[in-house]
Structure 1
Amino acid sequence: MLAKRIIPCLDVKDGRVVKGVNFVNLRDAGDPVELAALYDREGADELVFLDISASVEGRATMVEVVRQTAGEIAIPFTVGGGISHVDDMKRILRAGADKIGINTAAVNNPQLISEGARRFGSQCIVVAVDAKYNESWGEWEVYTHGGRKASGIRALNWVKEAESLGAGEILLTSMDADGTKDGFDIALTSAVSGLIGIPVIASGGAGTTNHFYDVFTKGKADAGLAATIFHYKEMTIHDLKMDLKHKGVEIR
């Protein structure tokens, strides 16, 4: 069994880290470069940056944030948000990112996954999936545009397709659990983990050590991603890792 990873997520808007609940009510959480350096020192295994103001101006800001961050940390980091062409990927990777996260653009043009994997290797391509439970279907639906638009695509079908096209990882966010701190969506995570052979990063709902324990043991996730609990110092990465080790989870 591969050791589990702990990954802080930094949602970056106009050069600042922000956090909300269920994708709304954003509040400021600090400077991205400073936070990245702190999480590196605290023992994070990787970082994820999501540019949520991915306008043209936002992208230029983000490239600068990536460049500054790359000079401050030694752990791998993924950058997503507003990346819709292979040239966008190249720009972000050149600035110092290790992996690229794609969501809306991949749904709109699935071949972007294959193109990115061919150019940069599958290990560089992280397909981010924002999923919400659809009562009438009895399963999860993929949302795009930062969780604002229902795609009409079944999440379980989409993760299989993404894997077949060359994705190296799935970053799976439960929109129902996001920011609630009530726990990861175990049903969603285990359904996706059981279907595909590439790593699944679980996101949305982390609030306690037990939530991470559950998503690793019951949800079969390869990594747990969180934002609120780390940004607002409710839990340190070091303490979380120690607790998980005591519970028998193999941690990096």
Structure 2
Amino acid sequence: MEPALADQLLNSSVAKRIIPCLDVKDGRTVKGVNFVDLRDAGDPVELAWQYSAQGADELVFLDITATHEKRKTTVDMVKAVARQVNIPFTIGGGINEIQDAEILLNSGADKISINSAAVRNPDLIDTLANAFGIQFVVVAVDTKFVDGNHYVHLNGGRIKTDMLTKEWIREAQSRGAGEILLTSMDHDGTKGGFDCRLLAEINQMLGIPIIASGGAGNTQHFVDVFLQANVDAALAASVFHYGEIRIPELKEELRKNSIEVR
């Protein structure tokens, strides 16, 4: 790690955030490997309550098969989560226009996350940021290394675009994204660690927070991503869902490594 980056981390007054992510399909939390082979991981509302009680800083819910027809199911879940937890949570999936975001925010979500819809219609970022403020807009990016470059992928990682990941993230920031949720598809579900090199490169070019996603397998991986990439938050799913890592122990390990957490 560069000395300047180490100094920046240790002198930072902004506490790092630990964020469990709940991928929701048909009202249930699911988790796969490299975006496929999904298996059930429990009730999202119950898990949300457990994570809040454990000391999670935020939650992210991604309706991975969302359509307008399923919007009512998502709204009911958002309302139930808002009643159960007192920490901020983000909801994503199926948000294609300002009305979709308005419904979810009015139902209790603190932020909304857009992914494929933003790539297909970049003006959506501007529209949401102007309507609600950039602090409410998270742009999620699914990236995969193909033929020597990182490319943006859509529809839950199923469709490769010709858009370079770094160029898209830079544009998203300029349009009003308040935060970037970056998922490495190559690392997702592998439990082999975050893509610290890519995250560090992107974090250095951004002026907004970045959430690292994809690859968490043990507490050391969280230590590594904060020390090596200096990201603002680290997100994980299966290691939390299946009890492999408990948030209190994770935060204690981060403190031992001089990483400030809430």
Matched, 1:239 2:249: yes
Aligned to 1:176: 186
Alignment of 1:47-196 (within 5 A): 47-135=59-147, 138-196=148-206
Match of 1:38 in 2: 50
Measured in 2, the distance between the counterparts of 1:62 and 1:106 equals: 20
Q: Tell me the number of residue pairs that the alignment of Structure 1 and Structure 2 aligns.
A: 250
CA distance in structure 2 between the aligned counterparts of 1:142 and 1:236, rounded to whole angstroms = 31
Greater shift after overlay, 48-57 or 155-164? 48-57
- How far, CA to CA, are the matches of 2:197 and 2:150 in structure 1? 10
1:58 partner SS: helix
Aligned partner of 2:9 in structure 1 is none
**5+ residue gaps, structure 2:** 1-11
Counterpart of 2:175 in structure 1: which amino acid? L
In 1, distance between residues paired with 2:149 and 2:253? 33
Q: Distance in 2 between matches of 1:152 and 1:59?
A: 30
For residues 169 and 202 of structure 2, the distance between their equivalents in structure 1, rounded to whole angstroms, comes to 7
User: AA paired with 2:203?
Assistant: S
In 2, the alpha carbon distance for the partners of 1:175 and 1:250 equals 28
1:28 to 17, 26, 40: 40
Percent identical among aligned pairs is: 57
Q: Is the 8 A contact 1:52 1:81 kept in 2?
A: yes
Instruction: Give per-residue Cα distances to partners, 1:108-129, cap 9 Å, x unaligned.
Output: 0111001000000000000000
Conserved? CA contact 1:4–1:251, under 8 Å: yes
Q: CA deviation at 1:28?
A: 0.5
Q: Deviations over 1:121-166 (max 9, x none)?
A: 000000000000122xx32100011100011100000111000000
**Are the equivalent residues in 2 in contact too, given 1:51–1:58 (CA < 8 A)?**
no
Give the TM-score of the pair, scaled to structure 1. 0.98
1:215 counterpart residue number: 225
Q: For residues 196-233 of structure 1, give each alpha carbon's deviation from its aligned partner in whole angstroms, at most 9, with x where no partner exists.
A: 11000000000111101111111121100000000000
| Paired AA for residue 51 in structure 2 | Y
Question: Which amino acid in 2 is paired with 1:99?
Answer: K
Whether the 8 Å CA contact 1:51–1:59 is kept in 2: the answer is no
Q: CA deviation at 1:82?
A: 1.1
* Alpha-carbon distance in structure 1 between the residues aligned to 2:69 and 2:123: 26
Distance 1:39 1:164 in 2: 33
Distance 1:216 1:18 in 2: 26
What TM-score do you get using the length of structure 2 for normalisation? 0.94
Distance 1:220 1:247 in 2: 13
Correspondence list, 1:5-24, <5 A? 5-24=17-36
SS in 2 for 1:217: helix
Say which is worse superposed, 118-127 or 53-62, in terms of deviation.
Answer: 53-62
Q: Secondary structure at the match of 2:244?
A: coil
Unaligned runs of 5+ in 1: none
